[in-house]
Amino acid sequence: MVPKQTRKGRVDLLMKEECKSPITLYTPSLEDLWFRQKMMVDEETMSYNHAWGGTIPFPKEVWQGWYDYWIVKHENKRYYRYLMDSGDHFIGEVAYHFDSDKNIYLADVLVYAPYRKMGYGSIGLNLLCDAAKQNGIKQLYDDIAIDNPSVTMFLKNGFVEEYRTSEFIMLKKEL
């Protein structure tokens, strides 16, 4: 993997088999959080989250605190990037964070609804796993609502079912 700084905030993670990937990871600026706000209030994008309440308000007043926590003072316990296409359009987000209650790193992949069903979720998930591995993380997990179709995407990309409850499936990948 070859990290390459291409402009402020944007890093291409290129692997031999992914050199033609149309998607890169981008560290958003505070001003770029308009896109996260747009995704969080979009019903179609947030439909996966129906089990936990659906859309999530993300007003501008909370951006600075959120940004400081996730981007500036991440303490190697949090990682957050936008997915950006070759035309510099934001198309989603990937993240992981350390869950101290479960003592695991939980993954997050969210593709903005107009960009779904194009393979971007898988590309983003693989870029996230590569970044986590580079950051010394050995396993990534995700707890996905039992009826969320993204379970299939995680399984196709090397995650295995660890266990399930009536509400969610816990998936795990060794990095």
Confidence of residue 50 (pLDDT cuts 50, 70, 90): low
The pLDDT > 70 percentage for the chain reads: 86
Q: Are 169 and 144 in contact (CB under 8 A)?
A: yes
State mean pLDDT over 61-86.
96
Query: How high is the mean pLDDT of the chain?
Result: 89
CA-based R_g, the chain, Å:
15
pLDDT on residue 47 = 86
Under 8 Å CB-to-CB from 57, ≥6 apart: which residues? 40, 41
CATH number for the domain running over 2-174: 3.40.630.30
pLDDT digits (tens, 9 = 90+) for 6-28: 445 554 444 434 445 689 999 99
pLDDT on residue 4 = 43
pLDDT digits (tens, 9 = 90+) for 118-175: 999 999 999 999 999 999 999 999 999 888 889 999 999 999 999 999 989 999 999 9
State mean pLDDT over 41-47.
91
Under 8 Å CB-to-CB from 85, ≥6 apart: which residues? 22, 23, 91, 115, 120
